[in-house]
Amino acid sequence: MNMNLEQLQSFVEVARIGHFTRAAAHLHLAQPSLSRQISTLETDLGAVLFHRVRGNISLTAAGESLLPLAKRMLADADRVRHEMQELAGLAKGRVRLGATPTLCVSLVADVLTSFHAAYPGIDLHLSERGSRGLLDELAEGTLDLALITTSEEPSPSVASLQRLPLLTEELVVVAAAHSPLLGNSGSLTLEQVALLPQISFHESYDLRATTMAAFHEARLSPHMVLEGAEMDAVLRCVERGLGIAVVPAMVLADRPGLQSARLTNPRLTRSIRLAHRKDLQLTRAAAAMQEMIIKTADMLSLTAAGKNGMVLRAL
C-alpha cells in the first residue's frame, strides 16, 4: 500500500467541502491532480470512497470509516512536525487549546495572557466550543488540551481521555448594576428566578442544558425574553437592563455593569476540568500550558472566593 499524507489530506478536504473543484482550489492543486490522488488512494485501498452522481459528492461506507482515521493520522503527523521544532526548546512550538465559551471570557483570557508573556515564540490556537465538541476534537487529535465542564457527558469515542479536576464554580443570577430585579436579599430561589425576564444562552452551551434541567426538575417554566444568544450578547443585554441571566460566577470579573445574587433552592454549581489524551505524551509546549492553567486556576480559587457572590475552589 502506497497511501501517503498528501492523499489523505486531499481525501479529507473533498469529504469536508463535498466538491472536487472547490477542494482542489483550497489545496492549491489542479482539479485533475486531486482526482488522480483520490483515484490512486481508492485503488491502493481497494475501496470506493466517494459516491459521484452528477456532481454531487458523498462518502461511501468505506469513506465514512476512513474519515476519522485519516483525520487522526494527519493530526499525528502535524504533531510530529511541531515536536521536532520543540527540540530547540520552548522558543518555538504550538499549543492547540480548546475551551467552552464561558471559560473563554474568564479563565482562558488570563491563561493566554500569562502564557504568551512567558513564551512569546509559541503559536497559540484556540477552539471555542461546547464540552462534547471539544472532547471529540481531542479524540481526533486536533487539540492538545481542552477546558471542559461536567454538564455534558462525553461520547463513547473519548473514553481514552484524561480529565484533571481544576475548580468547582457556583452559578449566580446577574442583572444590570442599577436594576431592581434582584431585590436586596442577595439571594434568589429558582422559583423566583423563573418569574423574572430571562436571557438564555444558545442551545450549544453546556450552561443552558444545566439551567433548563434545573427548571424542568422543579416543574418551572422560565420567563424568556431572549433565547439563543452567545455569551457576549447575553452579558451586554443584561447590562442594558433587558433581563437577568444565570451565569458562572467567574464571568463577573471586570464587569462593573453587573450585579449578582446567589442562587438557592437549589444551589447550582459546575465543575471545570482539563482534558487531554491518555495515549499521547504532551509536547513540551502543551505541558507548559497545562502548568500555566493549573497555576491560574489555583490563583482564582484563592482570590475569587466571596467576591461578587463568586465561590470558586480547587477540586
pLDDT tens profile 218-234: 999 999 999 988 888 99
CA distances to 44, 176, 191, 214, 217 from 265, in Å: 62, 23, 8, 10, 12
CA distances to 55, 61, 66, 297 from 47, in Å: 20, 9, 10, 49
Parallel/antiparallel/unpaired status of strands 223-229 and 312-314: unpaired
30: helix, strand or coil: coil
Residue 247 has a pLDDT of 92
Report the alpha-carbon distance of residue 260 to residue 187 in Å, rounded: 8
Residue 309 has a pLDDT of 46
- Mean pLDDT to the nearest integer, 293-311: 68
- Residue 172's pLDDT band, with cuts at 50, 70 and 90, is very high
273: helix, strand or coil: strand
Residue 300 has a pLDDT of 76
DSSP E strands, the chain = 50-53, 56-59, 94-99, 123-128, 145-149, 161-176, 187-189, 197-201, 223-229, 245-248, 258-264, 269-277, 312-314
What mean pLDDT is reported for the chain? 86
Residue 186 has a pLDDT of 87
DSSP E strands, 177-222 = 187-189, 197-201
pTM score: 0.66
* pLDDT tens for each residue of 234-277: 999 999 999 999 998 888 877 889 999 999 888 898 889 999 99
User: Which superfamily is assigned to 83-165+271-304 in CATH?
Assistant: Periplasmic binding protein-like II (3.40.190.10)
* pLDDT tens for each residue of 137-158: 998 889 999 999 874 444 444 5
Looking at the chain, which residues constitute the CATH 3.40.190.10 domain(s)?
83-165+271-304
What count of Cα atoms within 13 Å lies in the side-chain half-sphere of residue 142?
A: 14
- Residues contacting residue 29 through CB under 8 Å, at least 6 positions apart: 10, 37
* pLDDT tens for each residue of 15-69: 999 888 889 888 888 888 889 899 999 988 989 999 988 767 899 999 999 999 9
Q: Which amino acid is at 51?
A: H
What count of Cα atoms within 13 Å lies in the side-chain half-sphere of residue 208?
A: 20
CA distances to 102, 161, 297 from 155, in Å: 21, 11, 26
- Residue 303's pLDDT band, with cuts at 50, 70 and 90, is low
Residue 153 has a pLDDT of 45
Cell 461578587 sits on residue? 308
Cell 522558543 sits on residue? 91
C-alpha cell read off for 192: 423566583
| CATH-assigned architecture of domain 5-67 | Orthogonal Bundle (1.10)
C-alpha cell read off for 256: 462593573
- Residue 190's pLDDT band, with cuts at 50, 70 and 90, is very high
| CATH-assigned architecture of domain 168-270 | 3-Layer(aba) Sandwich (3.40)
Residue 252 has a pLDDT of 83
Looking at the chain, which residues constitute the CATH 3.40.190.290 domain(s)?
168-270
Looking at the chain, which residues constitute the CATH 1.10.10.10 domain(s)?
5-67
CB of 15 closer than 8 Å to CB of 8: no
CB of 191 closer than 8 Å to CB of 220: yes
Residue 175 burial (10 A CB sphere; 0-12, 13-18, 19+): buried
